[in-house]
Amino acid sequence: MLSRTADHIYWMSRYLERAENTVRLLEVCYQTTLMTNDEDHTDYSWRSVLTTLEALELYEAEHGAVDADHVIEFIVNSKNYTSSIVSCVRLARENARAIRGTVTSEVWETINFTWLEINRLLKTPLLATNPTRFFEWIKTRSLQTLGAQEGTMLRNETYNFMRLGTYLERADNTARMLEIRFYLENAADDKRKLVTQLYHWTAVLRSLSGLEIYRQVFRETVDPKRVIELIVLHPDMPHSLAYSSRELERHLQKVRNADSAETLRLAGRLDADLRYTTIDEIFKAGLHEWLTRYLEKMDAIGKGISDDFLWQQVQ
């Protein structure tokens, strides 16, 4: 396959996945803040979202003060923010258009339809009046695209690069989602803190389509440590870090070439790490520290993929 084609496919998938995960993030924040009328809390939560997305500065330059409506509008619809939902959909579609002959027409048409439709939807008041429905629509479109890929694509290099993009982006976004806190760490009232914490983790679970899985796996009430265990270490949960890392390694194996031994080694070691680490070890190291290292490793693998296979390396 052409390196340039692989590059377009990989980024197409990354942008698609990013749009979905950003919406999941917005959803958690929106849901959690609905449950409180504490303005400090709300403000803090939306700031956290912007920080996680590395968009706080740009937001403040464009809008100034943080408030829910503007943050949602900004993250969904800003033309200047390159990871806004509308930017992600546009870039995914641009990349797909460049290689529309390489993916099946079902995949291309699904992505193209999302693009045409998001432009129509954003001209309606839907986002302002019913953001949840808009979020759900994005998630559904994303699942349809994944479904079109699973259901129609030949399992060849194209498919492998698609999944590399998906899982690298997903691992990154999920790890960042775990970093975010929607409650004030130093809140005076411990009991209140505990309650918001509980809501927070329930919302995180739900946004990763994990609440039902949690109940199935643990058959107990929501406990932060267990939630983290599920999202980080469960080998079979599609949004867990362990699952993403394993898939990354698997697809890298399939496309390996003369230059990719080192990248493959990094991916293999990360996969092994996640298989043989326990949640207690992670907590002992400190979740934040552990996640920071995880993101660094992912970064190195992402750079490796670019250097070994993709277009950037050419000239």
Partner 1 sequence: MAPKFYDEIWQQEAKKTRVPRKHYEEYLKWLNRQEEALLVNKREEAEALFQQVGITFSVYGDGEGTERTIPFDIIPRVFPSREWTALQRGVEQRVRALNMFLHDVYHDKDMIRAGLIPADLIIDNTQYRPEMVGLDVPHRTYAHIAGIDIVRAGKGELYVLEDNLRVPSGVSYMLENRKMMMRLFPDLFSKIKVTPIAHYPDLLLETLIESAPEGVDKPTIVVLTPGMYNSAYFEHTFLAQQMGVELVEGKDLFVKDDYVYMRTTQGPQRVDVMYRRLDDDFLDPDVFRKDSALGVPGLMRVYKAGNLTLCNAIGTGIADDKSVYPYVAEMIRFYLGEKPLLNNVPTYMCRNEEDRAYVLANLKELVVKETHGAGGYGMLVGPAASKAELATFEALIKKDPSKYIAQPTLALSTCQTFVESGIAPRHVDLRPFVLSGKSIRMAAGGLTRVALKEGSLVVNSSQGGGTKDTWVINRRG
- Applying CB under 8 A, among 1, 126, 153, 300 the residue interacting with partner 1 is 1
Nearer to partner 1, 102 or 202 (CB): 102
Per-residue interface string for the shown chain with partner 1, residues 86-125, x marking contact by CB under 8 A: --------x--xxxxxx--x--xx--xx--x---------
Nearer to partner 1, 188 or 258 (CB): 258
What is the distance between the alpha carbons of residues 263 and 306, in angstroms, rounded to a whole number?
A: 10
Residue 264 sits in the site that holds partner 1 (CB under 8 A): no
Size of site (CB under 8 A) for partner 1: 28
Nearer to partner 1, 130 or 140 (CB): 140
* Pick from 280, 259, 263, 260: nearest CA to 271: 263
- Applying CB under 8 A, among 255, 266, 267, 274 the residue interacting with partner 1 is 255
Sequence letter at residue 68 = A
Answer for the pair 308, 259: CB distance below 8 angstroms, yes or no.
Answer: yes
What is the distance between the alpha carbons of residues 125 and 271, in angstroms, rounded to a whole number?
A: 44
What is the distance between the alpha carbons of residues 26 and 34, in angstroms, rounded to a whole number?
A: 12
Per-residue interface string for the shown chain with partner 1, residues 151-170, x marking contact by CB under 8 A: ------x---x---------
Shortest spacing between CB 159 and partner 1, in angstroms: 13
Nearer to partner 1, 218 or 311 (CB): 311
Shortest spacing between CB 232 and partner 1, in angstroms: 31
What is the distance between the alpha carbons of residues 274 and 47, in angstroms, rounded to a whole number?
A: 30
Give burial (CB, 10 Å; 0-12/13-18/19+) of 37.
Answer: exposed
What is the distance between the alpha carbons of residues 244 and 209, in angstroms, rounded to a whole number?
A: 15
* Pick from 247, 200, 191, 190: nearest CA to 228: 200
Shortest spacing between CB 147 and partner 1, in angstroms: 17
Nearer to partner 1, 106 or 179 (CB): 106
- CB within 8 Å of 128: residues ≥ 6 apart: 69, 73
Helix (H, G, I), strand (E, B) or coil at 271: helix
Residue 65 sits in the site that holds partner 1 (CB under 8 A): no
Chain residues in the site for partner 1 (CB under 8 A): 1-6, 94, 97-102, 105, 108-109, 112-113, 116, 157, 161, 255, 257-258, 309-310, 314-315
